[in-house]
Amino acid sequence: MQLPSVATAVQDGREYVVLWAHGETGGDALNKGKQSVRLLVFPADASGSAVAPAREIDIPVEVSALGEDHLQVADFGTGLEVHWESANTDKEAVVVDVTSGPLDRCADACAEGIGRITDKGWVVSDRSQGAVSMPGAWDIRDAAPPGAKHPDDTGSNEFVGVTGGRLLTRWQAESGSVMRPLTALHDATTGKLETSIVCDRPDGERAVASPDGRFVAAGTVAFDLQQRGGHCLDASEERKAGVYVRSIADGGTAYGTLDDTRGINGQTAEVDLSTGTPRLLPEGTLVPDLTLKSTGVFLSPSPTDGLLISVLRTQ
């Protein structure tokens, strides 16, 4: 198995921390094993330093040699999912019931693109066509944000992520004589546009949401659904470094890292997402990589060349 990673999941109102790794199982010196993703499921309210997993779940996968970067385990707001690129380069995904195992596989709908499950079906990003849709239900081009350039054209939008039941898409908007990225927030089950903002840095970043679903962010773009507005946390004339959001706690405190071309690396900050105001944290401060309602999950390199996972509950 590879070096493990961590995800969080919420199912039937209960919170879980899931340790996962990809590798071969059942093989020996003579016989090949079978590829799988192994999930070790821990209730988030467990305590102690040597807690045994509540269950182990193996998900059969066939990851291509170049597909490790596409392997992902996460809860995007409607249950834990495993995503991978298969040996024939198809994109595959399966929803996992953390109490029993695999639940629903996205087959033909996801073969050409990225799929994310919702209460109404799979949201699919077709990379070859450049369109985001729920096949047979809606097309995101019918819900383009104001200011989007050529919103009806194929390839006019990009999939950013799904989290907390919300879908983030990226468009292009004219700003004077230049084009700038425009990030939009939609209801993931209907595709309906909720709000949007022009900001330079949403692409390539993990989408995250607060446990209560009010706040959603990707990279330096953050939204407050209650206020129906967004904040751009990118570098600006007033701010020499952008804040890349890694996690959000209930109440709207976002935690992130600073990074820009001036060498400010490794420092962390917190942002009040009701106002968009960032605050630099003392040097060396660790911020949570994942958040649940009363739990923060911190990931850091272990002194013994492994991964140190700390799960801390708020008082």
What averages of pLDDT result for each successive group of 10 residues across the chain (315 residues)?
74 87 77 84 80 87 66 81 75 84 69 71 71 84 89 77 87 80 91 91 75 92 92 85 90 85 67 91 88 82 68 73
Instruction: List helix spans (H) across the chain.
Output: none
For residues 3 and 288, what is the distance between their CA atoms, to the nearest angstrom? 20
Residue 205 CA, chain-centre distance (Å), reads 8
Residue linked to tokens 């996992």: 96
Maximum Cα–Cα distance for the chain, whole Å? 65
Paired tokens of 47: 């305590």
**CB under 8 Å to 304, separation ≥6 — which residues?**
none
Predicted confidence at residue 93, as pLDDT, reads 83
Using alpha carbons, select from 304, 268, 264 the residue that is nearest to residue 286.
268
Paired tokens of 210: 């607060």
**CB under 8 Å to 264, separation ≥6 — which residues?**
240, 241, 258
What domains appear along the chain, each with residue ranges and CATH number? 1-111 (2.40.128)
Predicted confidence at residue 262, as pLDDT, reads 44
Paired tokens of 13: 């109102």
- Per the rule left: phi > 0, alpha: psi between -120 and 50, beta: everything else, 297 is beta
Q: Are 60 and 43 in contact (CB under 8 A)?
A: no
Predicted confidence at residue 165, as pLDDT, reads 86
Predicted confidence at residue 81, as pLDDT, reads 87
For residues 296 and 253, what is the distance between their CA atoms, to the nearest angstrom? 13
The whole model's pTM is what? 0.79
| Helix, strand, coil percentages for the chain (3-state, nearest 5) | 5, 50, 45
